Amino acid sequence: MEAGMLSAILGIVMVQGGTAIQDLDLQKIVGFWREVGVASSQNLALKTPKRLEALFLTLNGHELIVKAAYNSSGSCETEKIVSSEIDVSGTFVFPGHREIHVIDTDYEQFAILRLSLHWQGKDYHVLKYFTRSLEDEYGPGFWRFREMTADMGLYLVARHGRCAKLLKEVSLALGCAESPKLSLPT
């Protein structure tokens, strides 16, 4: 598994104590999510040449489908990852020993996720903050994210959002159908 895949879906940070929310409404979690912040006691997620900008989540029966948009040296790339297990407690399992736990969300403005991954014999965990908006970064969820990460070191990763904007436009235009490869001029 390459480092781009590692940061793509997941990012990487140790979160102590956070548990997934109970009774997650799967229909409300689908749609566009832009990554705004990453908290980590490890810097592996910050060193990758492919930087996650956004996710577009859809449901297909009992599968969560994640379309991830990355900025890779000025070009936009997408990746499709399909969950192997969904749990209404807010846990999604993906092939390759990867899990996403929804820690907190209001469904409309923000989501805070804990991403777990077993890679090269080690366990990694990351806390990520997402918004539905392309512009708003400091909504009510941001302050909750800051509180949750105060003791572990906080790295907010600034994103220009070109790839996030393109993923949102393309996915909505296609009605959440299969996203084509994205490519923007540098």
Using one digit for the tens of pLDDT, what is the confidence trace for 158-168?
555 778 888 88
Query: What is the dihedral sign for C-alpha 174, 175, 179, 184?
Result: positive
**Euclidean distance between CA atoms 159 and 47, whole angstroms:** 15
Q: Tokens 């807010």 correspond to what residue?
A: 90
- Domain spans of the chain, in order of start: 12-173
Using one digit for the tens of pLDDT, what is the confidence trace for 77-122?
999 999 877 776 788 888 888 888 999 999 999 999 998 887 788 8
pLDDT of residue 119: 76
Superfamily designation of domain 12-173? Calycin beta-barrel core domain (2.40.128.20)
pLDDT of residue 149: 83
pLDDT of residue 3: 39
What predicted TM-score, i.e. pTM, was given to this entire model? 0.77
Contact present, 150 and 39 (Cβ < 8 Å) = no
Using one digit for the tens of pLDDT, what is the confidence trace for 116-149?
887 788 888 888 999 998 887 777 788 888 888 8
Coil vs helix vs strand at 168: helix
**Residues in CB range of 105: below 8 A, 6 or more apart:** 21, 24, 29, 111, 112, 141
pLDDT of residue 66: 92
Q: What is the mean pLDDT of residues 169-174?
A: 75
Element (H or E) spanning 167, and its range?
helix 162-173
Helices (H) and strands (E) in the chain, counts: 5, 10
Using one digit for the tens of pLDDT, what is the confidence trace for 27-47?
899 999 999 888 877 766 566
Mean pLDDT of the chain: 75
Contact present, 145 and 155 (Cβ < 8 Å) = no
